[in-house]
Each structure stands twice: as C-alpha cells, then as structure tokens.
Homo-oligomer: A and B are copies of this chain.
Amino acid sequence: MAVDRLAVIGIGLIGGSFALAAKERRLVRHVVGVARSQHTRDAALECGAADEVTDDAATAVRGADLVYISAPVGATEPIMRAIAPHLSSDTLVTDAGSTKVSVMAHANALLAGHCVFIGGHPVAGSEQSGPSAATADLFIDRTYILTSAPDTPADRLDWLRKFIAGIGARVIICDADQHDQLVAATSHLPHLLAAALSGALADLAPRSGDLRLFSGTGLRDTTRVAAGPSDVWRDIFLDNRDNIRPPLEAFRARIDAFLQAMADADGDALCALLDEAREFREGLNDQ
C-alpha cells in the first residue's frame, strides 16, 4: 500500500494535510511539495508536510508513484499540461478540486496514455489556508469523493479508495456529472450565499452604524466560509455556474415563500417553512 514518492502540487492546507496524514500513517515514504511561493515552500518543510520542495512540477513528478494536484480548479489544465510528458504509465495522478466534470475532461485530453488519472474531492477544509494550517487529522470522518472514467483500471481505483480510507476519510465513488450537481447545492450555493451576505453587510455598514458590534455567533457561523480563499472560489463559481442555477432557484422560491408569509402575517405558514428547514438541518447532525 505504501508509496515511495508522493508529489503534492500545490502544497497548501489540503495538499499539506494529505501529505501529513499519509506520512503519519506510514502510507508514504518521501514527499516532494510544489509551490510557487518561497514562503509556502518554507512552511511546507517547516511543518513536516514535505521532505523536499521545488517550484517546478515537472521535476517533482518524475519518479513519483502518486501525484496529488491540489490547486484552484482553473490551474488544473496548465498543471496537467506541464507534467504530462514527465509521468510514467505506472503513476497514479489524482486531484483535490471541488469540481470534477472539467477536471475529468482535461485529464482525458492531456493525461490519457501518460498515466492513470482518478478525480478526487475531499469534502474537508477550513477558512484557513497554507501548509501551516495543515493537519494530519483533516480528513478523518470526512466525505472524500472519487470520480473515475469508464476506462479507469478497477484495481487502481480500488487501491486509491483504500489509500484514502487509510487516512480516515469516508470514500464515495460517483459520476463526475452527479458530483458537480450535488456539490453545487451542498457547497457552492452555501458559499455564494455566505459571500453575498458578507458583502451586503459591508455595503450597509457605513449607513447603519457598526453592524459588527451587534453580531453574534449566528452571523459568524452563517458567514464563516466567506473567509475562504478568493482564487479557489472564483474558479469554482466559473467552472460550476450552470449547476449552481437550479439550487439557487429553489432557494429563491423559499425566500419568496417567507416574504409572502410575512406580508400575509401568516404565522402558521412561517412555522411550516421554519419546521421544514429545521428538519433538514437536524438531519445533517446524523451524518
């Protein structure tokens, strides 16, 4: 099961945590971390996520058994283009992008014949970023989705499934289309709403006094994800915009129902809307 050489391209919070988790469980012997900034490379060495660092992905992947691409999804295509000629057909390449349809298409166009590619999406993270925020426990009991192509060798998929389970995650294997639709609803729309709410409060702040003084844990929780990295979320919103529409329409219909019930002073209708919301939310605690 153990990997001799793991190359992590983009060794930040996710990539760094993946390396730390695999090292702690002795699933990997040597990690080479790739980052553009000297500061990130230094931090990756400092926290022990990487044994070796470089700014050159092509160098890093040479001789690697496992390559982990952990970068904003918009960077996936150029990274694949850069590493393709340096991969061996034995190498397994996976990624940690939050969308999968475009990633699978890029892999099919750029990596086929060079290596085996299996898409990945760890449903884990925090609003922090960088390898200094990385932790070996990040994936424990978290959902980790893998997406494969029809021609993915079953034994390699099974191997990666076991490797990911080995770092504590609950692995789900699904179709890239289905993945992108589901995460549009469970992750991308919630992020959009949190960012729009934070932005709206920033807009109001000058004329409504100090909103921050009046804020409690409810507002902090509701907007927490809006502190996430802008480049990562820019790419997600661009890549998955079509799938965000249907759940956004369902959300708008709910807002309209609330407004109608308020305009009608219909307490029973409001209670029904609130009860349905609470029932769904309480179900999340059982996961």
Contact = CB atoms under 8 A, between A and B. Distances in A.
Interface in A192-213: 192-205, 208-209, 211-213
Given A192-B255, A222-B225, A277 B199 contact: yes
Contacts of A230: 270-271, 274-275, 278
A213 B287 contact: yes
Contacts of A271: 230-231, 234
Q: Of A220, A265, A281, which is in contact with the most chain B CB atoms at under 10 Å from its CB? A: A281
Interface stretch (A26-34, A63-71, A243-251): A243-251
Interface string A176-199: 001101110111011111111111
- Range of interface residues on chain A? 35 or more
Contacts of A195: 254, 258, 273-274, 277-278
Given A221-B221, A282-B227, A254 B196 contact: yes
A250 B203 contact: yes
B247 A204 contact: yes
A150 to B, nearest CB: 20
Contact of A214 (B143, B233, B285): B143
Q: How many protomers of this protein does the assembly include?
A: 2
Q: Of A200, A216, A225, A233, which is in contact with the most chain B CB atoms at under 10 Å from its CB? A: A200
Interface in A214-269: 214-228, 230-231, 233-235, 237-238, 241, 244, 246-248, 250-251, 253-255, 257-258, 261-263, 265, 267
A62 interface: no
A183 B233 contact: no
Ranked 5 nearest A-B pairs via Cβ: A198-B277, A196-B254, A200-B250, A230-B274, A195-B277
26 contacts: A125-B216, A125-B217, A126-B217, A143-B215, A178-B209, A179-B214, A181-B208, A182-B211, A186-B215, A194-B222, A194-B281, A195-B278, A198-B278, A200-B253, A202-B279, A203-B250, A221-B222, A223-B281, A226-B274, A226-B277, A227-B281, A230-B274, A233-B274, A234-B274, A238-B267, A241-B262
